[in-house]
Structures are given as structure tokens and as C-alpha cells.
Amino acid sequence: MLPSNARMYQAMVERDPAFEGIFFVGVRTTGVFCRPVCRARKPKLENVSFFPSTKQALDAGYRPCKLCRPMEPAGKTPDGIDRVIALLHADPMARIRDSKLRDLGLSPSLVRRWFLKNHGMTFQGFQRALRIGNAYGRITHGEKVAAAAFDHGYQSLSGFGHAFKQQCGHPPSKGKGREIIRLARFPTPLGVMVAGAVDAGVCLLEFADRKMLETELRQLRKLLKAEVVPGESRHFELLQRELEKYFRGERCAFTVPLVAPGTTFQRKVWAGLRKIPYGTTRSYGEQAARLKMPAAVRAVARANGANRISILIPCHRVIGADGKLAGYGGGLWRKKFLLELERKNDRTRNRLR
């Protein structure tokens, strides 16, 4: 279930991070295999082979590249950084300085680069965002601003107010009654996904390279009257567990609660998407007819495209009237992968019945 050789070669030449973990490149002239993003000089198309896994590359006689280290899981948070993030979530008021990172055996400059690449902020900025996010949560539940500020390590209300406004765009006094969308990243076989959740459930699940991701976050801020901060949610553990089972072919439906704000029409379309059986597809016309809106095919297609919760609200199961794949924000190659994954596992289950 790989993209075409031409598409994979293009991704390799462009060092496209969206294809991390999707395929590996065996270079016949050197006998090594690499990640798509490897910085080594790019060989010609006729000199490469593509593999869906490191095992298949090894079985074909290739050895792992020492530069890009393809045997290390793509998208996975490095163990040392994983430990640091766990420390911060356990104690959001902690201030982990460079000396502490060195004590943990980590290079501060490497940690900084990792956070810039994966979270768009430095490690110190990530710590500040976590502290502000936790303080915000307490303020929205009625706690006084001063108590939240001092409990989270700020020495003055003015310093807290400045940091809060930089992060949230408004002073702490206007934080009461607002939602908080907490963001996390999950590695998947199709690349890293960004998840967002409020207290009531998951409101966002998108591929990290989705061009509309920032627009969707702005929409959610407005629709939910919320602020977005990095952090943990009680829904993320269940979401990650169910996603892992889905990609292993062990789960057809999801139980994690969802929050999908939108117009009445959009919510009706999204509810219809969740009724499309696993392993099957519908055309946009069939989807509109089932919603008793046969003349609204284009409007239904637009509502599909506005879905912010990929996979769980399965807009990938809708295809063109001619049976061809069309209209998927995560990329048609991902849509193809998801449909083939579901069809394969559905056939396997039917044989076992």
C-alpha cells in the first residue's frame, strides 16, 4: 500500500517530511537504505528501490544509512525528550534549565532544535506555554488570577499578565468562562498527527503537514471560544490507543468522545460520514441522497472538506462518482492507504466469520 514510484521519488528529492515512516529508499549503487528525508545526495530513479518497511529493506540485502538512521521510529519522540516532557506534565510548574538537561544526558541545543521543529517553539517557550495553559485552566474554573500566577512560579502579576497576553492574546481577567484546547502530537504509519481536545472530547485530529491546520485552529478558537495550548488531555490516552489498534486492523470504530462544532448542515453531513460502514465507500452523490439532499452534492463535498477530525469522522470513505479518489486534505495517497487498509482488514474478518 505505497504511493506510486514517481510520487515517492518526488518526495525523496524534495525531502518531504510528510512521507516519514511511509516508505524507505534502497540505493542500489551504495547498498544502503534511507528515510525519504535523508540529507545524502539523491540517486537517479533507476538506481533506487522502495520498501514499505525496514524489514523488507533488510531482507533485500540493504544496510541502514548511518546519516538518517532509518531503524529509529519515525515521528516518535526521542526517549530523553520523552522523559523531559513527562516531567513537565507531572509538574507543570517545574523549570528545567540547561544544567538539568545536561544532568539527564541531553544536549540543550539538540533539545531546542527538536522543539522548534516539532512544536514551533523553543524548549523554554514550551515550558512557558504549559505553565500558562495550566494557569489558564484554573482561571477558567473560577480561581483568582493572583493565586494562579503565584502558584505557577510567577513573581509578579505584571510578569504573569505579560506572559499570559503573549500566549493567549488577551489579559488573564478575560480568561474566565473560556475553553482550553490542549494539543498533542501522535506518530502514526501515515506520519505525525496533531490532536486537540477540550474537556468534553476530541475536537481536532489532523496530519501535521495539513495546509489548513492553522485555519482550523483559528476556527476552533472562535467556535468554541477557546485558547490553544500544548498539554495533556484525559482523552489523548484513549485516542492514541484506539488509533494504534485501527492501524493494526484491530478496530473498526472509535469510542473516544468527539466535539465537532459547525453549522447545522455541516454537523448533519459529518454525522452521515460516521454511518458509512468500515471497509466501504460512497460517492458524493450517494452521500447527498442518503442525507435526503440529492441536489446538494457540492455543498456536501464542501462540508466533507471542512471536517477537522480525520479518520474518526471518516471523510476518506467518500469518493468520486467514477470511483476515483478525490478531495482529501491529508493527500490522496493517504486516502488510498486508509481505504486499502480497511478493505484488506474487512475481507480478512469476513473470511474468519
Q: Which residues are catalytic?
A: 315
| Cα distances (angstroms) measured from residue 338 to each of 205, 209, 231, 329, 333 | 15, 17, 28, 13, 9
In one letter, which amino acid is 266? Answer: Q
For 332-341, the CB contacts below 8 A with 24+ separation are 333/3, 333/7, 333/22, 334/190, 334/191, 334/207, 336/1, 336/3, 337/1, 337/22, 337/189, 337/190, 338/190, 338/311, 339/281, 340/1, 341/1, 341/247, 341/249
Q: What is the 3-state secondary structure (H, E, C) of the chain?
A: CCCCHHHHHHHHHHCCHHHCCCCEEEECCCCEEECCCCCCCCCCHHHEEEECCHHHHHHCCCEECCCCCCCCCCCCCCHHHHHHHHHHHHCCCCCCCHHHHHHCCCCHHHHHHHHHHHHCCCHHHHHHHHHHHHHHHHHHCCCCHHHHHHHCCCCCHHHHHHHHHHHHCCCHHHCCCCEEEEEEEECCCCCCEEEEEECCEEEEEEECCCCCHHHHHHHHHHHHCEEEEECCCCCHHHHHHHHHHHHCCCCCCCCCCECCCCCHHHHHHHHHHCCCCCCCCEEHHHHHHHCCCCCCHHHHHHHHHCCCECCCCCHHHEECCCCCCCCCCCCHHHHHHHHHHHHHHHHHHHHHC
